[in-house]
Amino acid sequence: MPVYTKLYGAFVLVLFVLYFGGIGLLRQNEKRITVYSQALLFLAGLVFYAYVGVLFVPVLLYECAAAWSFGLFLAKKTTGVKKGIAVLCLLLPLLLFKYLRYLLTLAGILSGTFFLPLGISFFTLQSITYVLAVASGELPAEKNPLPVALFVSFFPSISSGPILRAKQMLPQFGRVRPFDYEAVTDGLKLIAWGLFQKLVIADNLVPYIVSVKGAQDASGTAQLLAAVLYSFQLYLDFSGYSHIVIGTAQLFGFRIPQNFDHPYLSESVSEFWHRWHISLSSFLRDYVYFPLGGSRVREGRIYCNLLLTFLISGIWHGNGMTFLIWGLLHGLFICLDRLWKKRSVILTFLLVTIAWVFFAAASVKDALLTIASFIRIPGELLHLVAQMKGGGGGSWERLATAWNRLVFPEADVFLLQPVVFLLLFCGISLFTKNHPGLPWIRGQKPLLRWSCYLLLIGAVLFFHAAAPVNFIYNQF
């Protein structure tokens, strides 16, 4: 059930009425309200998940049951061996579906197209945070399986995150959450902003990117432009999704930390990873990098820890060589950050974009060919200037024709609308980096505030993509 569809909106609306209607009917009986709200949201998670494929619901139920059971198991006495067994059992479905199947396919034992259970990479890590929080004493083990099952299957974040932390969410699930007008209105604002990013900008960039990838003789200039636009498509696609699900959770009174914080305004790749997919980067920091020794070891070991952490990040994202190279590139860039202290937003964006080329490519060969095509850009631009300087009239017309041939492999693909909205988004991002959006808009006069709301809603209604694209991170 894609979160940008009318069906999802209807699902949330019905759930909203049942949730707060039930709380109102139960009135002051706090215990019954807590059980009712937890049971309703858990059932909502199962319905949401079953919509994608009923066959994979047992995988989700296994993860819920395993997390609860191992929480009780580790609460009695924790050892390194017990923690290892618990984590391995929680990882088992992910290893079987995502990695063993890939290896068997490479070996020729399996063939054909296989579907990955939706969100398995995300809810597996969530269940691990609960078990390790119990093992470390951060949380008591839940004797009641319902809160743990709700945490693992929480419907807003189950498909593509953010990766929730048990110590952040379980206390929220255990409290009565009455209707909060400000939380609901803020949630609706986040949802609208997420739909704008996803439907108006990200999805409208796709036709151009696909046209360049599918062209046999696309110029280096077109390849570079497509790579830059893919960087924004991926960001706005995932950031848009995150805003929608964070806003959805906020409708019901639950606070999920932000997952993106202006990553393309970072001055280094290290800073980028403090601002990009924050829930994953913080998970890798706390559960991979720190246990390896983090930065508390000798310098050479620090570099090894960084490379290994980002190698694991690449493996988590996918099981091909392109993802491994993508992860290693980011590890290498962060190692270089430690050696070279110069900071640059433009350089950081270019390095991240180069890495995205591998992330998006079907093979390492395709990624290398794309990067190699960038070498042709100076010659292509010089040829363009030479055409403009040629004798005779109509030089600007010739320039426009030559530019269109250079940049647009297909004549019927247009970029003006998404680029205008992208530039608008970039301007807003420059402002909101130092002035958080929700507090700022709340502080404005009603006329300005409602003008912004209506313009945002109008953009989503009238400029959304004709054919919405599935969220890129759903495949992970």
What does the pLDDT profile of the chain (476 residues) look like in tens digits?
A: 889 899 999 999 999 999 999 988 887 788 899 999 999 999 999 999 999 888 899 999 999 999 999 999 998 888 888 999 999 999 999 988 887 766 766 666 666 556 788 899 999 999 999 999 999 999 999 999 999 999 999 999 998 889 999 999 999 999 888 889 999 999 999 999 999 999 999 999 999 999 998 888 888 999 999 999 999 999 999 999 999 999 999 999 999 999 999 999 999 999 999 999 999 999 999 999 999 998 888 988 999 999 999 999 999 998 789 999 999 999 999 999 988 878 899 999 999 999 999 999 999 999 999 999 999 989 988 887 777 666 555 667 777 777 788 888 876 778 889 999 999 999 999 999 988 888 999 889 999 999 999 999 999 999 999 888 888 887 76
Separation of alpha carbons 203 and 410, rounded Å: 18
Separation of alpha carbons 451 and 454, rounded Å: 5
Catalytic option among 317, 330, 435, 464: 317
199: Cβ contacts below 8 Å, ≥ 6 apart: 4, 240, 460, 464, 465, 468
User: What value does the CA radius of gyration of the chain take, rounded to a whole number of Å?
Assistant: 24
43: Cβ contacts below 8 Å, ≥ 6 apart: none
| Residue-level pLDDT at 411 | 66
Total Cβ atoms within 10 A of residue 413: 14
Half-sphere exposure of 92 (CA within 13 A, CB side): 12
- Map tokens 């049971």 to a residue: 39
| Residue-level pLDDT at 402 | 77
Contact 247, 156 (CB under 8 A): no
Active site (annotated) includes residue 317: yes
Question: Which is nearest to 203 in space by CA: 411, 457, 471?
Answer: 471
Tokens at 2, concatenated: 């894609």
